[in-house]
Each structure stands twice: as C-alpha cells, then as structure tokens.
Structure 1
Amino acid sequence: MSQKNLKVDANNDQRRLDNFLIYKFPNLPRSKIYSMIRKGEIRINSKRCKAQTKISLGDEIRLPPYLESEKRDNNFKNLPPNIEKLIKNSIIFDDDDFIVINKPEGISVHGGSGQKFSLIDGVRSIYSSNDIDLCHRLDKETSGCIVLSKNKLFLKHFNGLLRTKKITKTYLAIICGKLKKSITVTDKLIARRRNNIKTSLVDDSGKEALSIFNPVKIYKNYTLVEIEIITGKLHQIRAHAESIKHPVLGDFKYGNINLFKEFFRSHPTFKRLALHAQSITFLNIDDQQHLFIADLSDDFQKVIKIFS
C-alpha cells in the first residue's frame, strides 16, 4: 500500500502537529494519533517528529497507508444540559475571530482517556462549528480565562503572539506558607512522568520558564498571590510554586497530600486547586488591545473570606 501525504497550507502554518491531526481526523481517538507519532508512522518531511512539533507551510506530513482519508462531519457531541448551560454562562467575549471563556474548574479543555466531554467539544457543539480551536490550554483543575479561535487566521495570529511573548497572563492562587515579598522564578522545567503522572520538574536541561509571584494578602498559614507568567510550560506555576517551597493549595501533584486532605476535611465546600487564570491581555488581528478578566468562582471567594 502506498503512503499518504498531507501538505501544510497557509492556514495551518506553525500549528502543533497533534492539533493539526486532531482537526484533520476528528473521529480518530487521540491516543491513536499520539501512538502513531511515537512509533514514527507519522513523519514530517520524512523525519521523525514529536506531537508538539510545529508544522510549517509546505511541509509534507506522511501518514500510514491504512489511515482513512480525512473527513469532517457535523456530528457534535451531545452535552449534558447542565454542562451546556455552564459553558454558555461562562462566555466572556465572542466576536467573528475568537471566544474568551471563564473556564470552570473540573472541565478538561480537550478530550482524552476517561473524558466524556471537554471544553472544546462543548464549544464546538454550542456553535455548531468544527473550525473552533484552542489557542492555549489550562489544566483541568484550573479555572479562568481561556481563548478559542473561530478561524485558522486568528489561531495563527495568536500563536505568533505566544511565540514572541506578546501576551500577558495573570493568575490568582492561594499558596502554602507566608510569601512576604515578590519573587521571580526562572527555574527551567522539563516534562517527566512521576508515579505515572505527567508533571514538570525543575531541571537545568529543561526549557526556559519565568513566573513572577506577587503577594496580595498574607494569612496565618497561606498567602494569596498574583502570578504573571512570561512563558507557558506544562504546570509551570504549580512546579515553580513547589520549587520555592510554597505549593498551591489543593495541588496533590506537587504539594503536601496529608496537609491538603486535612484542609478539605475542615472546609468541605472547597475541593479544588486554588489556581485561577485571572486575566489575559493581547492584540487582536487589527492591533486593538483587549484585556479580559475572569471572575473568581463562589467557592474560591468563600475560602478567601474564611482566611480574611
């Protein structure tokens, strides 16, 4: 059987390989896509590649011969009515190019193993459009501002802003201990599996990561901080918070499990990671600056009041 090839056009220039394939093959399990990439069945210009590799205009994507021709249909996932309502009520902004959502905690931005639905599935269903894509990501446990594109032109524009560090993101978090002054963390991060869970570890061989922690309010055993990230690595804030010995409250991947279990027993209405993407600032395609702010959820606000 002969090999199949896809040629990258201008709309998909500088897009991640995995996102490109997920778009091209919406009915193919993501686990299968990642498996084919790892095995070398999918190559870029005849060379092995990684899921996060950026593809460029004119690149030839080699596909295994058994893969069915790409097709996109309009079979959108049926959302539970309460989830559809939750997502609709979380929309902050919507125009012809992009959508900004105050993502609720507990909803994955994209599908995967064990996920019945995701934010991207929900938004595509609500708008009846498979052209909607994630511009960036938030952890399932993190709430707050996330941007989705409505067309490939804006997606490419946003990716360009990310590459040139022209997007400002701020987060609010409750961290353990007292952080008495601002601190800039520049520890490099590398993705690793720890106890079979994907995490980021501080490692000199890793990639550049920069987070600025500014204390907002100091409590008895915790600190409310505002964090600005200049880069956007996997679990960046959570890994950097651990590296300065101030893990994020409720972070069972990077923090003190026993301490958090005790906290949740004492505060049964709060069972989440205390991390919220508070704002995002960027220029649209017409060079108009936008600032979007996502309100804190009720449970997050109640915990702050308890500490106060």
Structure 2
Amino acid sequence: MALTEPISQLKVQFVIISDENEGQRIDNFLITYLKGVPKSLIYRILRKGEVRVNKKRVKPEYKLKVADQLRIPPIRTAEKTQVNFSPKLQKIANLEKAILYEDDALLVINKPSGIAVHGGSGLSFGVIEAFRTLRPYAKFLELVHRIDRETSGVLMIAKKRSALKALHEQLRAKQMQKDYLALIKGDWPSECKVVQAPLLKNLLKSGERIVKVNQEGKPAETRFKVEERFGFATLIKASPVTGRTHQIRVHTQYTGHPIAFDNRYGDQAFDYQLNQTDLNRLFLHASHVRFIHPKTLEVMQLSAPLDDTLQQCLTFLRAHKSSFK
C-alpha cells in the first residue's frame, strides 16, 4: 500500500506501489497523494522528469505497476488550506494537461476549442497570458503562430527569441507543414486537391471580422485531401500553404462545402443534420505539424488527438454511415 501520511515539504519521498494502486495513471495517483499541490505543478514536475519511476522518466499517462518505486521531489504542500479556484483560473491550470511537447526552446500544446490564443477584443486572457501566469519566472514566451478561438489543436509557443525567429523564418519559407482535420458539408470532389483564392478581410460595423474571397485580397492557397466520406458530409485534411485569417474556413465555404458548426461561414441546415451527433463546436482541428527544431535541427512531427466531442461525432457518423447515403 502506498504511503498516506502528509509528505514532508523539504524531503525527497520514495513510494513503493502495491496492488491497491496498480493500473492507476501516475498523474491521478500524484494528484491524490500530493494533497494541496496544484495540478499545474504536478504536471510540471512529471514533464520535467523530476518524478521518477524505477529511476526513469515517465509520461503523465503511465500506468503504475506493483513494486514500482516512485521518487517524488521536495514539494511544498498547502496543508489545511482551502483554495477556491474560479472557473477561469481552473481553465488556465488545465492547459498544463494539454502540453504535447516541451523543452528549453519551445512548448507545443493541444489547444482546446473556445480559448483564444491571446487576450483582446473583450477577452481578458488567452493561451499566451495563461502560460505567462503559469510560468511567472519565464523570461520569454511568445506565440509562434495563431489559430482561431473556435479551432482546437496544435499551437506552438517559443521560449527563446532565437527559437521564435527560426520558426518564423520556416513559416515564411513555407518549410513548416500544418495539417487540419475538418468535417465539411456534402461530398468533397476528389479532383479538388488545391484551392487558390485571394482573401480580403472586412471589418463590420459590429466590430466582427469577416473574410471573403476577393481579387483585391492577398493570395491564399490550401491543399485538400479526402480522409473519410459519410454521404452528406466529408472528413477532409486541409493543409494551408499560406497563413491567412480564417483561410480554411473561407476556402471550404467558397467551394460550397462549409465546415460544420462554423458560426461565421457555415450552413445552419447542415448543422441541423448533425444534431444527433451532439456536435456543438466548429469541427476544425489542427491535427499535425512538421517543422525543423530551431536548436537541434531535428525534423519534428507532432500530432494532437481529437477531443471527445469531435471523436464522438465521427464515431456516430461511422456507426450510421449507411443511413446517411
């Protein structure tokens, strides 16, 4: 049985796992064991390798085994202190769980839908403000690129100015490949592999920003590939060559195949057809990124899994595919 006494604030702790905790994820075990320690700190010490299992680093999803020896670093606990987190603060803390990769040069997360990448336009905070709050001693944290608030998936943050400069140069030289998954209306034509249509930004009186295809706009190119067909809808992979605002959303709308639950460029009748799937958000997800590491020069490929809402939508469509044809 694992130790249950309050841990010392200043000592390294060693815990032997018994059959009582076998199969439990190490992050969930530590959250229970380290009562009073913020979840954000727990995920940080796991990610940095300060927690060791049998003298080895493990990921938060590692499942404990009988006789595993855990090394837990010195941590200050908030014994007999109750902290009531506001929903906003809890949302910020949860971003630690969304980290896909981190080293001393960059940080990559699987951004949840509904969180802006930065504050502004009536929003008090975004992802970058959140991580500056979570990392108060970080000297440098800047967004490498942006994705829409409603879009989920891969988002890169530079931790050094040199890394930001190198990654921006890759973006300019089109050496960084970003792939998105989108569920769009109708049967996407297989022969439509590239859309080249200039995009022009328009600011409405309400302050809302709308982008339209316009010959006076900036050049924009998106490559498309069919991933799966459902009759009345298609799952596509979209790879933007340029990085214009709302590019994928506008290019799919321009071809007559708007993205599901797009509140700016979508189709309400199509959204209604998806009611049974319980989808309630834009089905656009930055699923994959390929780039050259700014420090090691290694070719990096990172993927972000779909959230439960998007995955459940696809599961339903696959199970009822025949009824939609």
Change (3 A) 1:106 1:130: farther
Asked if the contact 1:79/1:117 (under 8 Å) is kept, the reply is no
2:237 corresponds to: 226
1:1-308 pair list within 5 angstroms: 80-128=88-136, 129=138, 131-181=140-190, 182-194=192-204, 196=206, 197-260=208-271, 262-263=272-273, 265-267=275-277, 269-285=278-294, 286-308=296-318
Which letter does structure 2 place at the counterpart of 1:148? I
Deviates more, 1:251-260 or 1:224-233: 251-260
Q: By how many angstroms is 1:282 displaced?
A: 0.6
Change (3 A) 1:209 1:194: same
1:5 corresponds to: none
Asked if the contact 2:260/2:270 (under 8 Å) is kept, the reply is no
Using structure 1 for the length normalisation, give the TM-score.
Answer: 0.71
Asked if the contact 1:110/1:120 (under 8 Å) is kept, the reply is yes
Which letter does structure 2 place at the counterpart of 1:293? S
Q: Distance in 2 between matches of 1:290 and 1:126?
A: 25
Q: Distance in 1 between matches of 2:268 and 2:139?
A: 40
Q: By how many angstroms is 1:115 displaced?
A: 1.4
Asked if the contact 2:111/2:152 (under 8 Å) is kept, the reply is yes
Using structure 2 for the length normalisation, give the TM-score.
Answer: 0.67
Which letter does structure 2 place at the counterpart of 1:82? Q
Asked if the contact 1:145/1:277 (under 8 Å) is kept, the reply is yes
1:19 corresponds to: none
Q: Distance in 1 between matches of 2:91 and 2:199?
A: 34
2:10 corresponds to: none
Deviations along 1:21-41, one digit per CA (max 9) or x if unpaired, are xxxxxxxxxxxxxxxxxxxxx
Q: Distance in 2 between matches of 1:270 and 1:255?
A: 14
Find the structure with the greater CA-based Rg. 2
What value does the CA root-mean-square deviation take over the aligned residues? Answer: 1.7
Asked if the contact 2:185/2:270 (under 8 Å) is kept, the reply is no
**Number of equivalent positions:** 229
Unpaired runs of 5+ residues, structure 1, are 1-77
Change (3 A) 1:122 1:166: same
Q: By how many angstroms is 1:264 displaced?
A: 6.2
Q: By how many angstroms is 1:302 displaced?
A: 0.5
Q: By how many angstroms is 1:79 displaced?
A: 7.9
1:34 corresponds to: none
Asked if the contact 2:184/2:236 (under 8 Å) is kept, the reply is yes
Q: List 4+ stretches of structure 1 deviating above 3 A.
A: 78-81, 263-267
Q: By how many angstroms is 1:195 displaced?
A: 6.3
